[in-house]
Amino acid sequence: MIRGILLDLAGVVYEGDHVLPNALEAVRQLHSTGLPIRFVTNTTTKTKKALLARLTGLGLEITSDELFTPGQAARAWLKQHNASPLLLVHPNLKAEFSSLPDRKKRAVIVGDAGEAFTYWTLNHAFRALIDGAAFLALAKNRTFMDDDGKLSLDAGAFVSALEYSSGKQAIVLGKPSPDFFHAALASMGCAPEEAVMVGDDAECDVAGALLAGLSRAVLVRTGKYRDGDERRVEAPPTAVVKDLPAAAAWILGHRDG
């Protein structure tokens, strides 16, 4: 039985500056069932507030409580561990951490920094890591669908480079971290085995959800999906469908089963 739904955003609901065909109607259809929904994204180029504003502008009806971001998870980690951030992130995301107090303990936080990934910034992060800073990765995706409709290199390669050089393993805060999935599920009182995940990333969205204990995960052939992705992951998807409307139909058809 399905009692809760997790939806990815980029590549599932929208791409670039446009909503995918009939995606908003599919979200409304899922909302009409009364099932709780959480939107779980690895987007790290915007603050949660800015992302909410963008989604609202695209016509998506969403509240702050329904949206889970890696930046949000990083703030919670820093508070829990009494640490201050050393940021290697996109300039637009820095405001997410501006209100945090200065603490003695440090944590290097790596996100999709875009053009801010330079030798100097990476070496600065490396030196902080070997000096004892904790290592947090907002996400470790291989690629993302860029605004020009093509795949671009994501932060995963830079996180791996710092892991290799420093000898430290990053704590991944976004998908596919089980803690990230579990936090979203806990917010709606849903057990993992009663939830379904929908995403376009076979590795982070689908396999990540299944390995986190979710009983079902649906892969859509939009966004970053490439033919055969479902055969290249440790935990294959429960179903592979055309797009979000097809995923919504699949969920409604399997809600009680």
Write down the domain spans for the chain: 1-40+49-67, 70-172
**Cβ neighbours around 151 below 10 Å, total:** 14
| pLDDT over threshold 80, residue 206 | yes
**Same-fold call for 1-40+49-67 versus 70-172:** yes
State the chain's mean pLDDT as an integer: 96
pLDDT above 80 (res 237): yes
Residue 226: predicted pLDDT: 96
Cβ proximity of 174 and 139 under 8 Å: yes
Contacts of 244 (CB under 8 A, 6+ apart): 7, 12, 13, 20, 22, 23, 26, 27, 198, 220, 222
The percent of residues above 70 in pLDDT, for the chain, comes to 100
Number of Cβ atoms within 10 Å of the Cβ of 65? 10
Q: Determine the pLDDT at residue 149.
A: 81
Q: Helices in 190-243 by DSSP H: which ranges? A: 208-211
- Residue range 210-220: mean pLDDT, rounded: 98
Question: Across residues 194-223, what is the average pLDDT?
Answer: 98
Going by C-alpha positions, the residue among 242, 238, 245, 246 that lies closest to residue 2 is: 238
The strand ranges marked E within 105-145 are 105-110, 134-137, 143-145
Mean pLDDT, residues 160-169 taken together: 98
CATH architecture of 70-172: 3-Layer(aba) Sandwich (3.40)
CA pair distance 140, 67, nearest whole angstrom: 19
Confidence at residue 16, expressed as pLDDT on a 0 to 100 scale: 86
Range 12-16 average pLDDT: 94
Least confident of 47-61, 75-89, 147-161, 181-195: 147-161
pTM: 0.93
Q: What is the pLDDT of residue 49?
A: 96
Q: What is the radius of gyration, based on Cα positions, of the chain?
A: 18
Residue 130 has pLDDT above 90, yes or no: yes
83-88 vs 37-40, strand pairing mode:
unpaired
Band the pLDDT of 94: cuts 50, 70, 90.
very high
Three-point CA angle 250, 251, 256, nearest 5°? 115
For residues 99-136, one letter each, b for 16 or more C-beta atoms within 10 angstroms of the residue's C-beta and e for the rest, the string is eeeeeeebbbbbbbbeebbeeebbeebbebbeeebbbb
Q: Which CATH number fits domain 1-40+49-67: 3.90.1200.10, 3.40.920.10, 3.40.50.1000, 2.40.50.140?
A: 3.40.50.1000
